[in-house]
Amino acid sequence: MIKRTALWISTMRLKTLPLSVSGIIIASCLAEFNGVFTWPIFILAILTTLSFQILSNLANDYGDGVKGTDNDDRLGPERAIQSGKITPNEMFQAIKINILISIGLAFSLVFNAFGVNYFLLTLIFFLLGIFSVVSAIRYTVGDGAYGYKGLGDVFVFVFFGLISVVGCYVLFAKTIDHVVFLPACAIGLLSTAVLNLNNMRDIVSDEKSNKITLAVKMGAKNAKRYHYFLIGGAIFISLLFGILYYTSPYNFIFVLAYIPLVIHLIKVNKTTNPKDLNPELKKVALTTFFMAILMGVGYIL
């Protein structure tokens, strides 16, 4: 029983969770700065985001597993269906349970934020919640999976960046504030960089399995250049945010996150074996989480 529980926890890929809540953290800090932060919305937003990320992780394991994309050619960690420790039917049942949990949390979050006083916002966010569930599943599941058509980067930027930061702020403030857009773009670019690293690592096995990611479309050389753009763009945009919305020297403590990012770019530039990119995934994900905290906290100090 303990081993089985540990297996399911491992399948949820807990290492991916800090990255998923990065946008929630910075949006919440901006909400606190503007005097609209509340703990219930923050807690429910965190739980809802975590449920969406776990759903996405399970669906990715299922989709890539049944398609045969996760095979011996893959350089990343062995997944559950690939290992044979969890059957496709068991994973499918877990996905259905997680869908119910995600929808329940999302509805609780929306009602807590808007109640019955903001009908249009309630409707928009209900639809957004359903769209999020469908998108989490359709990344790898089904014949028209968008992750197999080079569209994964777009969805990651939109969901981890724009929707995460802007959407979370609206839950607090009931309106959009221009202050959230630059942080949203910065977090979105860094989150997309994590996906691109994953795709660069698996570029050979993905191409063999007909999983046409953006990295596969561009080729290894251009995928690296694209990666420099993502990281460099995030650094530039976050620095621009610090300058344009300056309130105190504490605003710039997030530049500490530039150190691991620059070291990471040097590592990627020197890397010739795709397998060596695997450790960099965790580094960029945690650095994004670290930067989100510093950008947010630095703004309210």
- Decide if 110 contacts 128 (C-beta within 8 A): no
**End-to-end Cα spacing for the chain:** 46
Residue of higher predicted confidence among 256 and 204? 256
Output the pLDDT for position 178: 96
Write a three-state SS string for the chain: CHHHHHHHHHHCCHHHHHHHCHHHHHHHHHHHHCCCCCHHHHHHHHHHHHHHHHHHHHHHHHHHHHHCCCCCCCCCCCCHHHHCCCCHHHHHHHHHHHHHHHHHHHHHHHHHHHCCCCHHHHHHHHHHHHHHHHHHHHCCCCCCCHHHECCHHHHHHHHHHHHHHHHHHHHHHCCCCHHHHHHHHHHHHHHHHHHHHHHHHCHHHHHHCCCECHHHHHCHHHHHHHHHHHHHHHHHHHHHHHHHCCCCHHHHHHHHHHHHHHHHHHHHHHCCCHHHHHHHHHHHHHHHHHHHHHHHHHHHC
Angle between helices 278-300 and 258-270 (to 10 degrees): 160
For residue 99, is it within any domain? yes
Are the C-beta atoms of 218 and 160 separated by less than 8 Å?
no
Please check whether residue 113 lies inside any domain of the structure: yes
- Domain membership of residue 6 (yes or no) is no
More confident residue, 2 or 197: 197
pLDDT for the residue numbered 73:
64
Domain count, the chain: 1
Specify if 120 maps to a domain: yes
Host domain of residue 260 = 21-300
**Residues 35-80 pLDDT 10s:** 999 999 999 999 999 999 999 999 988 988 888 776 766 666 777 7
Q: What is the pLDDT of residue 1?
A: 67
Cα–Cα distance, 56 to 183 (Å, whole number): 23
Task: In whole angstroms, give the CA distance from residue 298 to residue 301.
Answer: 5
Whether 15 is covered by a domain: the verdict is no
CB-CB neighbours of 251 under 10 Å: 19
Instruction: Output the six-digit token pair for 88.
Output: 């496709």
Range in 3-7, 126-130, 179-183, 279-283 the model is least confident about:
3-7
Q: Is the pTM of this model over 0.75?
A: yes
Specify the pLDDT at position 24: 98
> CA-to-CA distance for 26 and 290, rounded, in angstroms?
11
pLDDT band at 254 (very low <50, low <70, confident <90, very high): very high
pLDDT exceeds 80 at position 3:
no
* % of the chain beyond a pLDDT of 90: 77
Is 12 contained in some domain?
no
Q: Is residue 200 part of a domain?
A: yes
Torsion of CA 10, 13, 18, 19, to 10 degrees: 170
143 vs 113, residue with greater confidence: 113
36 part of a folded domain: yes
- Closest listed residue to residue 217, CA positions, set 234, 192, 196, 233: 196
